[in-house]
Structure 1
């Protein structure tokens, strides 16, 4: 994926990691389309960042995905990269009786969302010469945070999904790349923007884009700060890492 020539659609990029990456990709020369649910935020982004295109999309709504696909491809028939960025992270208490709604909402957004995006855009991407479908998992795919069991599970599923579809899509000409964030200072959960344990957003986004450029054949984009989670099991430190993560009582994406 050549960042200087790619046309990139990023659903879930009106704030946080998605917007930070969108702006950096644009600065590197890519054509960028930002997607999100809230039209007011999209209008603000378009006004503040000339050259960044915007499209309304709710990845929890199949009809919205279909409408966005038509709009994006009508405007940008040269689209060659889709980044499935949209996600939610909410605390759950499975010892209570009211966790189901949160769990279902998390599965719909974090797992069905990327699957539906793939179904919508892969027919187009398979026809491009240098196409990529980018997933966003988490360090919590590999080490669980007690407060967010369904989030952990959906990100583990995104990781394994990425591994599986790569085997099918790369021979068909579509690269599959997985971005694996650690805790990052965003508004993903209450208090996370001020979490001293989390990685500063700008530092994370800068490192990700540097890795995209320096590791063009990478399957996973792993900033240094996520590796203790990603490799906890294979390094023999899993139990200690689980204890360390949950002892901090901090959010780790």
Structure 2
């Protein structure tokens, strides 16, 4: 995506990576609409950041997605960038069947069905825009698994392959598919992540992402330097060592 002059919708941007990117994209000269479930939080963010707009959306609810999409497109018919950001991460122990199934279903519904439903609502419109982008959000864990979060790893691997596949289907249209694959970042995605020495500071991550988008607007994957250890382990031939190192550093391991 080009770094300015866009109208961008970022569902799941009321905190963390989504909000950090929304504010930076706004500062670069884009019109940015964020989405989230908590109206009072959205109202506060909009009040604190003039020019930012917000729409309530629950990405677990297909009707809410349809309603939010209709509202965004009615208010912003020039919308040309979709960033389906909403996601959850859960620690699961699959050795205890009663303890993981509900969590796994929530993760897949949020992280896989949510982006699929969002893209389904916007893809026809985006093809009418002369320069459009769908920026998906996977993870370094799509390529190297963390033992404690099997459903999250699988959900992000699904987003990676969904992006690869849609890029093939939308070739020849005006819609560009790009994939942002973060490393561990200091957010509230998991308990303890905000203070983790193994996680990248949020501002540092967001600044590097925007710099990459600015310098490489056509990049298929947006990869900060820190995530390349996870992303390219198999290509380098040291995948087993990468997985071992990742899980040795995992505070949620046993």
- Do both share a fold (TM > 0.5)? yes
Q: Which residue of 2 aligns with 1:5?
A: 5
Instruction: Give the TM-score, by structure 1 length.
Output: 0.98
- Counterparts of 1:87 and 1:47, CA distance in 2: 25
TM-score using structure 2 length? 0.97
Asked if residue 78 in structure 1 is aligned to residue 75 in structure 2, the reply is: no
What is the alpha-carbon distance in structure 2 between the residues aligned to residue 75 and residue 172 of structure 1? Answer: 24
CA contact (8 A) 1:197 1:250 kept: no
Which residue of structure 2 aligns with residue 112 of structure 1? 113
Deviates more, 1:35-44 or 1:15-24: 35-44
The runs of at least 4 consecutive aligned structure 1 residues that moved more than 2 Å come to none
Give the aligned CA root-mean-square deviation in angstroms.
Answer: 0.8
Q: Which residue of 1 aligns with 2:31?
A: 31
SS in structure 1 of the partner of residue 178 of structure 2: strand
In structure 2, what is the Cα distance between the partners aligned to 1:117 and 1:250?
33
Structure 1 residue 19 corresponds to structure 2 residue 12 = no
Residues 170 and 176, structure 1, Cα contact 8 Å, conserved in 2: no
- Cα deviation, residue 54, structure 1: 0.2
Describe the SS at the equivalent of 2:99: coil
Any residues of structure 2 matched to 1:1-253 within 5 Å, and which?
1-96=1-96, 97-250=98-251
CA deviation string 1:124-156 (max 9, x = no partner): 101000011110000000000011000000000
Gapped regions of structure 2 (runs ≥ 5)? none
> How far apart are the structure 2 equivalents of 1:193 and 1:170?
39
- 1:56 positional shift: 0.4
The 8 Å contact of residues 57 and 68 in structure 1, kept in 2 or not, is answered as yes
SS state at 2:158 partner:
helix
